[in-house]
Structure 1
Amino acid sequence: MTSRRGAEHRAISDLKDLTGAGLTAPEVFRQADPILRNVLGFDAVCWHATDPATGLVTSVLTDDLKLDDFRQAVQLEIWGDDVARFPEIRLSGRGADTLSRATGGVLQRSLRYREQIAPAGFGDELRAVFDAAGGMWGCAAFMRAPDRGPYRPEELALARRAARHVGVALQRSQLREVLPVQTPLPPAVVLLGPDNHLLDADEQAEQLLGEFADDSTAIFTAPTPFVMAAEQARATVAAARTPAPLRVRARGGRWFVLHASLLRGAAEGSAAVVITPASPPEIMPVVFASYGLTHREREVALRVVQGHGTHDIARALCMTPLTVQDHLKSIFTKAGTRSRREFVAQLLVAHPPEVWT
């Protein structure tokens, strides 16, 4: 018992070290894998970066799993009515959950287990969401062989502690470099078939596709964010809802927004995905989360960007001017700026701060 507790303590300490290492998201996942593999007792893992604002998956990274049936995984995640899904785990505030706990020990109750996990030769699954400062920066699914048995309560508790540190490391991965002021880019268009394979792309999109390539590209011939945007459009059209835009950061550091629409409005048809550079309003929720602003600080910061003065903000938010000033001091410190003008200028070019303070 003492030896296990020592191993868990070291694992948490090593994960804390990742939060200050200035790593990219794939580097966070690569370094977290060996730290967690032994103490959690998993045999395979699939890591995902996500749109911090919506929680939608934007990349896939795995060294353990065959992705031949990844299209089924996408459909189960978007369409499936199952237990212990990433959105449900996030809404619960638990940070992590297992199929064995969610199904009361009867794994066959899970559609995901019956159609994907068991056929792949695995037993219990543990899922974690990596939240920090109000944003969901990633998630992961950890599978183990059936002969290991279900995840134990202490392993789930450790996963919940670990998820918080991985979330902070991913959040800070967005602060690792300052983006130069960039020239505007025209919209780019990608066409995906009913099976979400790439059918065509315009010249601008051809140049951008490599910026988002990940492990799923070999399966779909299109990167994960395009597939997720298209599949989400199919699901929302079927449910008579409007699909949310998908934010994704390219390898070069620039944020883009993906909008998908179905040709002739048919869920079973082809999908056009339009990708545009993220405007300041579109990227602001991500930037605020990357700074680590509280909910109240975000309300103040938004009004600062809109040009409101201290007394106007105080009246709108039912607080005193002194409280507004206190929030502003905290906002400027977290953003690495010294004044309203500097803060607004930084947001208008969607710059992250040079250092985390």
Structure 2
Amino acid sequence: MGSRGSRAAAAQQAIEGVRELAGAGLTAEQVFRRADELLRDVLEYDAVCWHTADPATGLVNSVLSDDLSLDSFENAVRLEVWADDPATFPRIRRSGVRAETLSRATQGRPERAARFREQIAPAGFGDELRATFDAHGGMWGCAAFMRAAARGHFLGRHRELADTAARHLGHALRACHLPTGGGADADAGPAVVVLGPSNRLVALSGPAEELLARLADPSRTSLGLPTAFAMAAEQARRTASGLPVPQAKIRIQSGDGRWYVLHGSSLQGSAADEVTVVATAATPADAMPLYLSAYGLTAREQEVALLLVRGCDTRDVSRLLTMKPYTVQDHLKSVFAKAGVASRRELIARIMLGGGH
């Protein structure tokens, strides 16, 4: 077998390994580390930065990298939110593909991108390959792969392979966010932090210190606080500047399965560019769509499930969604199977409480 055949066989083996991650019962960090082992040789990258994301907005909410220096991570956050660059994660999603290289997006001139000039090139890299990990309508994570300048740009086969791997990684990360029961306990109340320039911590109140520890990134960064808080602050600054944002809030799940909602507000008249970020436990209304998406329900199945939670019976669902009663029953069977329940009561308890298995 020639080198091309060997590469193809290695790539197929890697993809099969990535596909199996969805059923392995792993955490997001474990998914990323195993994916790195499987993909590094076949994608031929020299460094990678992994992120989980708010599935509803696609906003990055954590970072993991064993390769890159995160000593100036505040600049990475700033560029992610403010730079109008080619091949950003949102642009990749809107393009209808899952992976894109910076060299291809800039027609061979990656220096046109601010992040290339300010971060990628100074670190010794010549190209970046980004991939978004979508599944069932949500973006559960993403990654940026870097290639040393001496090795040239990523090739088309690398992009195609990353696109295929990204689909399976979306399903693997979705499975990491299944309800675990952690949402049933009461929380201590809102956590409030005040961030100054470069998103440095100025003050905190309530249970903020404990929550910051629970939501800490897998990799330590120069921010000194979770990426999600810095992203919420930058979204607030964009809003205050009159620029569009996906949403003013960002969602993140803690290690025990609880969802939290972070909302940033720019302080009026603050000379220090300060922002307040309030973190609260997700309400059932906030968490339900995330749980339903995590179970892998289709958009129609989610509509049926939400109506059930609101107290509708089969006849109500049939009327409101304009579908035959037997079609509703078919959707219900699928919903129950995916959620691992046997009745509507069990489904409602699981969704309302983040009910465990």
SS in structure 2 of the partner of residue 195 of structure 1: helix
Rounded Cα–Cα distance in structure 1 between residues aligned with 2:152 and 2:57 = 33
Amino acid across the alignment from 2:230? V
- When residues 205 and 137 of structure 1 are mapped into structure 2, their CA distance, relative to the original with a 3 A threshold, is same
CA deviation profile, 1:202-231 (whole Å, cap 9, x unmatched):
141112111011256541121111111101
Cα distance, 1:142–1:278 mapped onto 2, change above 3 Å? same
Q: Please, what TM-score do these two structures have when normalized by structure 2?
A: 0.94
Q: 1:176 offset after TM fit, Å?
A: 7.7
- Output the CA distance in 2 between the equivalents of 1:217 and 1:151: 28
Pairing 1:126-137 to 2, within 5 Å after superposition: 126-137=129-140
Question: With structure 1 as the length reference, what TM-score do the two structures score?
Answer: 0.94
1:129 is paired with a residue whose SS is: strand
Q: 1:15 to 1:265 in 2, by over 3 A?
A: farther
Out of 30, 34, 39, the residue aligned to residue 36 of structure 1 is 39
Counterpart residue identity of residue 179, structure 1: G
Secondary structure of the 1:144 match is strand
CA distance in 2, matches of 1:73, 1:267: 23
Contact 1:261 1:271 survives alignment (8 Å): yes
Change (3 A) 1:23 1:207: same
From 225, 235, 238, the counterpart of 1:235: 238
Shift of 1:88: 1.2
Classify 1:62/1:217 alpha carbon distance in 2 versus 1 (closer, same or farther; 3 Å).
closer
**Mapped contact 1:235–1:267 kept (Cα < 8 A):** no
2: CA distance between counterparts of 1:329 and 1:250?
A: 30
Aligned to 1:245: 249
C-alpha contact 1:185 1:277 (8 A) present in aligned 2: no
Query: Which segments of 5 or more consecutive residues in structure 2 lack a partner in the other structure?
Result: none
Q: How far has the Cα of 1:115 moved from its partner?
A: 2.0
1:77 corresponds to which of 75, 80, 93: 80
Distance 1:324-1:176 versus aligned 2 partners, 3 A rule: closer
Q: Distance in 1 between matches of 2:212 and 2:177?
A: 20
Question: Which of residues 161, 166, 170 is equivalent to 1:163?
Answer: 166
Alignment of 1:87-102 (within 5 A): 87-102=90-105
Q: Is the 8 A contact 2:22 2:169 kept in 1?
A: yes
- In the aligned structure 2, how far is the partner of 1:22 from the partner of 1:81? 37
1:117-160 superposed Cα distances (whole Å, 9 cap, x missing partner): 11221111000011112111110000101121111111111001
State whether structure 2 residue 315 is matched by structure 1 residue 311: yes
Please name the residue that 2:266 is paired with: 262
- What is aligned with 1:107? 110
> SS in structure 2 opposite 1:124?
strand
The 2-side partners of 1:283 and 1:178 are apart by: 12
Match of residue 150 from structure 2: 147
In 2, are the aligned partners of 1:70 and 1:216 still within 8 Å (CA)? no
The 1:306/1:229 distance shift into structure 2, 3 A limit, reads same
Q: Distance in 2 between matches of 1:251 and 1:265?
A: 37
Question: In structure 1, what is the Cα distance between the partners aligned to 2:218 and 2:350?
Answer: 33
- Distance in 1 (CA, whole Å) between partners of 2:17 and 2:330 is 34
Question: Structure 1's 216 and 202: CA in aligned 2 closer, same or farther, altered over 3 A?
Answer: farther
Q: Give 1:194 deviation, angstroms.
A: 2.0
- TM-superposed CA distance for 1:55, in Å, is 0.9
Contact 1:225 1:248 in 2 (8 A): yes
Q: Is structure 2 residue 178 aligned with structure 1 residue 175?
A: yes
Structure 1 partner of 2:201 = 198
Distance (whole Å) between structure 1 residues aligned to residue 204 and residue 275 of structure 2:
12
Is 2:58–2:141's contact at 8 Å kept on the other side of the alignment?
yes
Give 1:222's aligned residue: 225
Name the CA shift for 1:17/1:267 in 2 (closer, same or farther; >3 Å).
farther
Q: Distance in 2 between matches of 1:56 and 1:69?
A: 19
Alignment: residue pair count: 353
1:186: which partner in 2? 189
The Cα shift of 1:309 comes to: 2.1
- Given candidates 322, 328, 331, the residue that maps to 1:324 is 328
Distance in 2 between residues matched to 1:84 and 1:240, nearest whole Å: 20
Provide the aligned C-alpha RMSD in A. Answer: 1.8
**Mapped partners of 1:141, 1:9: distance in 2:** 21
- Check whether the contact 1:122–1:143 (CA below 8 A) recurs between aligned residues: yes
- Alignment partner of 1:336 is 2:335: no
Q: Does the CA contact (< 8 Å) of 2:21 and 2:31 recur in 1?
A: yes
Take 1:215 and 1:325, find their aligned partners in 2: how far apart are those partners?
43
Question: C-alpha distance in 2, partners of 1:147/1:244?
Answer: 41
1:6 corresponds to which of 3, 6, 9: 9
CA distance in 1, matches of 2:239, 2:219: 23
- AA partner of residue 233 (structure 1): A
Change (3 A) 1:302 1:147: same
